[in-house]
């Protein structure tokens, strides 16, 4: 028991020493914290002012850039005040809720307006445009440019944009290509394919199949365009070969050609060889045509995959479901907050800028007047110097005085 009691005494002493040391450490910490707060206040005053200045500059610059883009959209669409406000709000909402900023949304609206879309069409098209940009990992402006180019090539309307984006998304994710390469290919073949009555899904699937064979971008688009052109009106040896194999290229109405894959699949089944393919399609497209002919049996399944709806929205959501996506949303939300802060000051800042411009416009002619006054003063001083010299007397002196009064009548009040 004695040993146990001794142990408790020693533990008590150690505990007391520990607590005393802890009290001293806490006191020192408080003292240090107080000094740090004072130092921080001193430094913070200067740094805080600098931070406010930089933040204000950022807000004003952002507000000016965003306002400039929205003004261009208004000019291109002839939007009313109410319509303009609706687009402005949409751009800011998209900026706060997605990975894209409000400024980027406004830039995309500009591209849509340049493509001829009206305010209502732009409003409906923006969510689909965001999805395509997310799928392709491209800018909003580029997504707007790509989708509207494809729509224009096929004569589609704004309400078709969702379907177009799904076709692009499906092709670029199910084949060995990407959104940019798909767009380059479609740019070359789109108008001719539409004229030849080819479905957009079919042409897109053929772009994807060629990409799987390493034929991409403008090379694929040019090859497809040549194939279609050669089949619209076959001549010479090409016509003879098609007649020999009893292959019809014209559609039933005579205003285009049969589906390209149907023609190529018939060639495959009837044993049209590579030599004949070169005669029909020539050097520029024979190789690509032979690839599609060999894959014609797989075409229907792939075209069905390309035509699936809802893909762009799904892929866009899945690609943002990670830390990087969260950080992008934070960046967009931050810009949205800055725009909200600057919104009330927009009119004031414009007034300041306009007043400064007016002041500068007033200063310019005043500078020219000042230069004239200086030159006139020099001339007048020279003539007064002649009078003071005493070298001129009598009528000559009187005449010089009269001349000075006459020549410098308008300037004397300002010069003297």
Among 116-130, 241-255, 350-364, which stretch is predicted with the lowest mean pLDDT?
350-364
Domain ranges of the chain: 154-318, 346-415
Greater confidence (196 vs 343) lies with 196
Q: What is the pLDDT of residue 284?
A: 86
Closest CA to 131 of 163, 102, 154: 163
Q: Which residue has the higher pLDDT, 15 or 325?
A: 325
Residue 17: CB atoms within 10 Å? 10
DSSP state of 100: S
User: Given a cut of 50, is residue 266 above it in pLDDT?
Assistant: yes
Q: Which residues contact 300 (CB under 8 A, 6 or more apart)?
A: 261
> What pLDDT was estimated at residue 356?
45
How large a percentage of the chain has pLDDT more than 70?
62
Q: Is the pLDDT of residue 25 over 60?
A: no
Report the distance separating Cα 234 and Cα 403, nearest Å: 95
Query: What's the pLDDT score for residue 346?
Result: 52
Confidence of residue 43 (pLDDT cuts 50, 70, 90): very low
Strand partners for 250: 257
Handedness of CA 38, 42, 45, 48 (dihedral sign): negative
Residue 134 is predicted with a pLDDT of 87
- How far is the C-alpha of 167 from the C-alpha of 161, rounded, in Å? 10
Q: Is the pLDDT of residue 289 over 90?
A: yes
- pLDDT given for residue 340 in this prediction: 65
Q: Which residues contact residue 326 at a Cβ distance below 8 angstroms, ignoring those fewer than 6 apart?
A: none
Three-state DSSP string of 240-265: HHHHHCCCCCECCCCCCECCHHHHHH
Spell out a b/e string for 134-163, using b for 16 or more CB atoms within 10 Å of the CB, else e: bbbebebbbbbbbbbbbbebbebebebbbb
Asked if 182 contacts 172 with a C-beta cutoff of 8 angstroms, the reply is yes
Phi, psi (deg, nearest 5) at residue 197:
65, 35
For residues 133 and 170, the answer to whether their CB atoms sit within 8 Å is no
* Mean pLDDT score, 130-141: 88
pLDDT at residue 279, as a whole number:
94
> Is residue 272's pLDDT more than 90?
yes
96-to-61, 99, 135, 292 alpha-carbon distances in Å: 18, 8, 19, 45
Q: Mean pLDDT lowest for which of 65-74, 179-188, 311-320, 373-382?
A: 373-382
State mean pLDDT over 90-103: 84
| Listed residue (63, 56, 157) closest to 101, CA to CA | 63
Measure the CA–CA gap between 69 and 79, rounded to whole angstroms: 13
What does the chain come to in residues?
A: 416
pLDDT of residue 140: 87
Cα of first residue to Cα of last residue in the chain, in angstroms, is: 115
Average pLDDT, the chain: 78
Q: How far apart are CA 239 and CA 260, in angstroms?
A: 16
pLDDT of 276 reads 94
Question: pLDDT higher for 224 or 254?
Answer: 224
Three state DSSP letters for 183-214: HHHHHHHHHHHHHCCCCHHHHHHHHHHHHHCC
- Chain centroid offset of residue 88 CA: 16
Query: Could you give the percent of the chain with pLDDT greater than 90?
Result: 36
pLDDT band of 159, cuts 50, 70, 90: confident
């Amino acid at each position: 028991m004695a040993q146990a009691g001794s142990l408790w005494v020693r533990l008590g002493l150690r505990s007391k020493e520990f607590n005393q040391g802890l009290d001293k450490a806490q006191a020192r910490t408080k003292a240090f914290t107080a000094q740090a707060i004072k130092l921080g206040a001193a430094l913070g005053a200067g740094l805080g002012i600098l931070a406010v200045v930089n933040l204000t500059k950022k807000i004003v610059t952002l507000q000016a850039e965003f306002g400039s883009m929205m003004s261009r959209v208004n000019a291109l669409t002839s939007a009313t005040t109410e319509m303009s406000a609706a687009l402005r709000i949409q751009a800011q909402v998209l900026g706060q809720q997605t990975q894209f900023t409000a400024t980027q949304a406004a830039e995309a609206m500009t591209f849509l307006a340049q493509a001829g879309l009206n305010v209502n069409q732009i409003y409906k098209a923006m969510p689909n445009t965001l999805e395509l940009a997310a799928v392709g990992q491209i800018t909003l402006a580029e997504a707007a440019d790509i989708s509207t180019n494809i729509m224009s090539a096929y004569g589609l309307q704004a309400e078709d944009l969702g379907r177009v984006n799904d076709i692009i998304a499906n092709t670029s994710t199910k084949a060995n290509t990407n959104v940019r390469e798909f767009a380059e290919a479609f740019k070359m073949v789109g108008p001719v394919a539409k004229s030849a009555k080819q479905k957009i899904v079919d042409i897109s699937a053929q772009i994807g199949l060629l990409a799987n064979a390493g034929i991409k971008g403008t090379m694929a688009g040019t090859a497809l365009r040549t194939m279609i052109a050669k089949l619209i009106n076959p001549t010479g040896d090409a016509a003879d070969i098609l007649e020999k194999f009893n292959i019809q290229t014209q559609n039933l109405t005579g205003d285009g050609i049969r589906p390209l894959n149907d023609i190529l699949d018939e060639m495959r089944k009837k044993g049209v060889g590579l030599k004949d393919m070169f005669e029909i399609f020539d050097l520029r497209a024979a190789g690509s045509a032979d690839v599609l002919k060999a894959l014609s049996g797989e075409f229907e399944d792939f075209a069905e995959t390309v035509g699936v709806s809802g893909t762009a929205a799904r892929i866009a959501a899945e690609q943002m479901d990670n830390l990087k996506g969260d950080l992008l949303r934070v960046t967009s939300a931050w810009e949205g907050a800055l725009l909200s802060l600057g919104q009330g000051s927009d009119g004031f800042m414009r007034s300041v800028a306009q007043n400064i411009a007016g002041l500068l416009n007033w200063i310019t002619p005043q500078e020219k007047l000042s230069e004239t006054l200086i030159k006139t003063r020099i001339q007048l001083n020279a003539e007064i110097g002649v009078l003071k010299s005493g070298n001129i007397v009598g009528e000559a002196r009187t005449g010089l005085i009269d001349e000075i009064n006459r020549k410098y009548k308008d300037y004397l009040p300002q010069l003297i």
